[in-house]
Structure 1
Amino acid sequence: MTAGKWRKSTRSQGSGNNCVEVRLSGSVEVRDSKAPAVGSLAVDRAEFAALLRSVG
């Protein structure tokens, strides 16, 4: 994943209704692609990895 570039989840539906985007900076940022102006949630990489393990 390229630092600074927002990437859409591969599990997002093609209709665009359930889209989550992530990007790497010093941390991992997560946002709703339908409402990017609302902002993003930033977590450290270890926390994000734990989240992925728990839902995967």
Structure 2
Amino acid sequence: MICANDVSGGQVFGQDHNALQLFWQNGEKTLPLAEKNTLADALVSEIVARYRQ
């Protein structure tokens, strides 16, 4: 899995919110703008879901 975020304009550094784009072999998913702690939880959930497939 590859996780990417848009860092253009420095909008994510020093901020409490972010968004992620996830890519894996057969798909992709966007995690929309949210608090970074919320994104971390969602990312771990996605990793677990892919691992269990």
Flag whether TM exceeds 0.5 (same fold).
no
TM-score by length of 2: 0.42
Q: Which has the higher strand share?
A: 2
